[in-house]
Amino acid sequence: MKVARKIDGKAKAAKLTESITLETATLLEEHGIKPGLAVVIIGENPASQVYVRNKKRTAESCGFHSVQHSLADDVSEQDVLQLIDELNNDPAIHGILVQLPLPEHLDELTVTQAISTAKDVDGFHLVNIGKLTAGHMADTFVPCTPAGCMLMIEDEIGPDLSGKNAVVIGRSNIVGKPIAALLLQANATVTITHSRTKDLPRVVSGADIVVAAVGRPNMVKADWVKAGAIVIDVGINRVEQTIDGETKSRLTGDVDYDDVSTVAGAITPVPGGVGPMTITMLMANTLRSAQRAAGLDGE
């Protein structure tokens, strides 16, 4: 039985990180600029703490100036906005990231829109979202997860997706909508599906490219997937299972990996697929912002 190729996001991220590290050293040597990334984390969300640690470690390994601001769970919105304003005006900082989700008393839109568009390395500002949607890519920060997904798709099929049908499962502003915009720009025919889509398995089964970003463990099964399709699993779900009377938690994606591997042409695992690429694209965006600050186009 043929098994799908595993798309190794960890290996690809490591290779990209190597090139980012070299470019960072060159920028410092030739222009005296070290890319600066500031991460703001609010509260004690354990998953957020892990993500922030990983981002800080990767930034430091690339040779970045890395700053972390840890704020109390009950911090006022005014204090958060004041910190963002200070970072917007700090020439040593080229990228600002506020770790989501935020505590309930803080308005996500107000906080994310306070970040300068020139330092919005997460690509969440409405101006950057608008530029992405309109196809004005020269000075736009693309959200990190979709950007990483596209690189992995290009590795499998090439940059021109003409004639390919792509189905995106999920319509979030962080993944679903931006990946659809990127797929459209690469000439794919794109369908966005979601919880209200009728006969979802049938819609997915026509796709040459499937991007699953819905947050439901192992939802996509083999009988949903066209033979030879490229399957990108963005989901990160923690599920509990009991083995020998002991309950353990493990990470799984939105795709039933073992099942879908029997029909797909290539598939990303969870963990080790999209996750490492997301952090690497954050570094790439921060480097690009620093290159712009040096008067380079960063392309």
Active site amino acids: 55, 99, 122
Neighbours of 149 (CB within 10 A): 31
Angle between helical axes of 126-134 and 176-185 (0-180°, round to 10): 30
The Cα–Cα gap between 247 and 243 comes to 6
Q: What share of the chain is helix, strand, coil (3-state, %, to 5)?
A: 40, 20, 40
Report yes or no: 167 and 208 within 8 Å, Cβ to Cβ. no
Token pair 């981002």: residue: 55
**Residue 59: DSSP 8-state:** H
Angle between helical axes of 176-185 and 144-157 (0-180°, round to 10): 40
Report yes or no: 244 and 264 within 8 Å, Cβ to Cβ. no
DSSP 137-151: -TT-PPPHHHHHHHH
